[in-house]
Amino acid sequence: MSQPATQLSAERLVHAPSAGDEWWRRSVIYQVYPRSFRDTTGDGMGDLPGITRELHHIASLGVDAVWLSPFCRSPQKDAGYDVSDYCDVDPMFGTLDDFDDLVAEARRHELKIIVDLVPNHCSDAHPLFQAALAAAPGSPERELFHFRDGRGPDGNEPPNNWQSHFGGPAWTRTTDDDGAPGQWYLHLFDSSQPDFNWDSDAVRAEFERILRFWLDRGAGGFRVDVAHALIKEPGLPDWGGRPDGRSTEGFPFSDAPMFGRAAVHDVFRSWRQLVEEYDGDRILCGEANAHPVETMADWVRSDEMHQTFNFDYLGAAWGAESFRGVVERSLSAFDAVGAPTTWVLSNHDITRHSTRFGLGMTGRVNEGGKISDLVVDEDLGLRRARAASLFTLALPGGVYLYQGEELGLPDFLDLPDEFRQDPTFFRTRGERVGRDGCRVPLPWVAGAPGLGFSTRPGSSEHDDATPTSNAWLPQPRHWDRYARDVQAGDPDSTLELYRRALAVRAERGLGLGDLAWLESRPGATTDVAAYRNGRTVVVLNSGDEPADLPAGSVLLESTPGAINADGRLVPDAAAWLDVEH
């Protein structure tokens, strides 16, 4: 008989129970991507009434809040992250009345609605930017953005060497009324997304108005897009680092002239005060793609935001050692500022974790080249995704879920190029495929046209896609197996696993708990990560051999049969156990 792969002998406490008990310290927040959630008008695009209609499904998961990706008026050049009117709903998604109905329905389910705020840039169709284009260089209208003369004798070269996050230069040249080439404007993302100048008091006042508009309408808070980039270094000096703000050798994040400038924190301090004027414990969650995680914690100091997304966890490779490292480092960084850590495995910008873990790559795959040529083991990916989710859902802190992960959805890697809409794909001429693969409309009903996402069948025909869908992106043919109606009530399904795990998490107060590693004996495999949170022990096995489990009764297994006849945890699996103190 083979030796046990692991012996869990000693405990090492790395996180004490949270000091406060506010809801956002232990929240589970479900991200809805409105265009892909549920279409009630038959135009192939999800809408706000669709979210209201299906909200009970989200509530039945046992979450605290719903974060809606952008639904404001927008030309949709970057799926709504290019806003032309911050205080109106895009007709594609409905009306302000539909938003009010959604908030009312959410209250009935005791859910909060978190609005996605996009303050770094607007759409080039925004009236303020149109006014700036029409105004002269040096005018107050142009002061709201970053307009500069070009370099070189004819001003033909961009004002500096910054690169757009989506590829290509971060500057676009304007054309004056007489047809002559004019000044350049800065856009860290697409050329249709001009950056606001946050040194302008008028910009600050405008956003305070926008915050109050949604808070007055009942928003439970904001997810703040690109929260690390609002303030730019005076003079806009050249920089050779990566446009996503992660460090590259020789160009550390701390030196980036467009990311993480000290003055950006003053903006969020003032917003915290503003949000606290309202009742109901409303929150700010920063999308501060700052690196390393210790830097990210600056956004959640006690007088700043309540939460920030943990991008290191999102980017962690599959495996016990990798997860353990990020968890320990994150807890220590966030504990140092008295803030909760958040845990996130998937979102609308990153290849879904069931695909990533079936490829054996990290979450940053979308940053690279074409991935559709790579072979994904979908069943392995799903097994690992369920294990990773179980490992995550008992961690102390907040959790973000991305719509569809509770169904175990993979990415649509073979999405035909003719359907692609992400500006990344176009700005890199297809070199980077972009993020459409993780944004495909949800499957609701197996066998139904468009898998029940849309009320009207359409005509999009493709070998790899469902033939009867008019959805804005087609769904793969084999997604019947992931449909919500097939999974509901099936105790072995991913959906029921999430429901049970979230119920146990709530019953045991795991979000506010502590964390002690159960350490392996020296020399044992590092492929097992095990922690105790109160009376709950979580074990993940990413090795090739079954692993021993500590004594305790089984609460949950990541897949049926995860614990074998010998009482050991099989590879690519996780389990929750109830243990005596």
CA–CA distances in Å: residue 388 to residues 193, 383, 527: 35, 9, 13
Q: Is residue 393 a contact partner of residue 502, using CB atoms and an 8 Å limit?
A: yes
CB closer to ligand NOJ out of 287 and 298: 287
Question: Does residue 78 belong to the site contacting ligand NOJ (CB under 6 A)?
Answer: yes
- Please give the sequence-ordered ranges of beta strands (E in DSSP) within 542-580, or none if there are none: 553-557, 573-578
Task: Note the Cα 261 to chain centre separation in Å.
Answer: 23
CA–CA distances in Å: residue 439 to residues 69, 442, 472, 473, 515: 11, 9, 10, 8, 34
Q: Out of 71, 189, 309, 323, which residue is the one contacting ligand NOJ (CB under 6 A)?
A: 189
Question: Does residue 433 belong to the site contacting ligand NOJ (CB under 6 A)?
Answer: no
* Residues from 400 through 429 that contact ligand NOJ (CB under 6 A): none
Q: Is residue 468 a contact partner of residue 458, using CB atoms and an 8 Å limit?
A: yes
- By CB under 6 A, how many residues form the interface with ligand NOJ? 9
The CA dihedral of 67, 68, 70, 71, to the nearest 10 degrees, is -150
CB closer to ligand NOJ out of 81 and 214: 81
Question: Does residue 81 belong to the site contacting ligand NOJ (CB under 6 A)?
Answer: yes
The conformation of residue 18, written as its DSSP 8-state character, comes to: P
Q: Which residue is nearest to ligand NOJ (CB)?
A: 81
CB closer to ligand NOJ out of 79 and 219: 79
CB of 118 to ligand NOJ, least distance (A): 6
CB closer to ligand NOJ out of 189 and 207: 189
CB closer to ligand NOJ out of 81 and 185: 81
- Helices marked H in 109-220: 127-134, 140-143, 201-216
CB closer to ligand NOJ out of 141 and 190: 190
- Annotation says 225 is catalytic: yes
CB of 69 to ligand NOJ, least distance (A): 8
Q: Is residue 534 a contact partner of residue 578, using CB atoms and an 8 Å limit?
A: no
Q: Is residue 145 a contact partner of residue 196, using CB atoms and an 8 Å limit?
A: yes
Q: Is residue 286 a contact partner of residue 308, using CB atoms and an 8 Å limit?
A: yes
CB of 74 to ligand NOJ, least distance (A): 11
CB of 286 to ligand NOJ, least distance (A): 11
Question: Does residue 118 belong to the site contacting ligand NOJ (CB under 6 A)?
Answer: yes
* Residues from 263 through 292 that contact ligand NOJ (CB under 6 A): 287
* Residues from 313 through 372 that contact ligand NOJ (CB under 6 A): 348-349
Helix, strand, or coil (residue 186): strand
The enclosing H or E element of 383 equals helix 378-393
281 vs 438: CA distance, rounded Å: 32
Among the listed residues 78, 105, 195, 225, the single catalytic one is: 225
Q: Is residue 66 a contact partner of residue 503, using CB atoms and an 8 Å limit?
A: no
Q: Which residues, 6+ apart, have CB-to-CB distance to 574 below 8 Å?
A: 386, 387, 388, 390, 391, 538, 539, 540, 541, 557, 558, 562
CB closer to ligand NOJ out of 105 and 349: 349
The conformation of residue 49, written as its DSSP 8-state character, comes to: H
Among the listed residues 277, 279, 418, 463, the single catalytic one is: 277
CB closer to ligand NOJ out of 120 and 541: 120
Q: Out of 39, 195, 225, 298, which residue is the one contacting ligand NOJ (CB under 6 A)?
A: 225
- Helices marked H in 46-126: 48-59, 96-108
CB of 34 to ligand NOJ, least distance (A): 13
Report the 10 Å Cβ neighbour count for 368: 12
CB of 164 to ligand NOJ, least distance (A): 10
CB of 317 to ligand NOJ, least distance (A): 21
CB of 149 to ligand NOJ, least distance (A): 26
Question: Does residue 557 belong to the site contacting ligand NOJ (CB under 6 A)?
Answer: no
CB of 517 to ligand NOJ, least distance (A): 32
CB closer to ligand NOJ out of 89 and 226: 226
CA–CA distances in Å: residue 115 to residues 272, 466, 483: 15, 32, 27
Report the 10 Å Cβ neighbour count for 109: 13
43 vs 39: CA distance, rounded Å: 7
- Annotation says 277 is catalytic: yes
Partner residues linked to 286 by β-bridges: 224, 308
Question: Does residue 105 belong to the site contacting ligand NOJ (CB under 6 A)?
Answer: no
Binding site for ligand NOJ (CB under 6 A): 78, 81, 118, 189, 225-226, 287, 348-349
Which sequence positions are flagged as catalytic? 225, 277
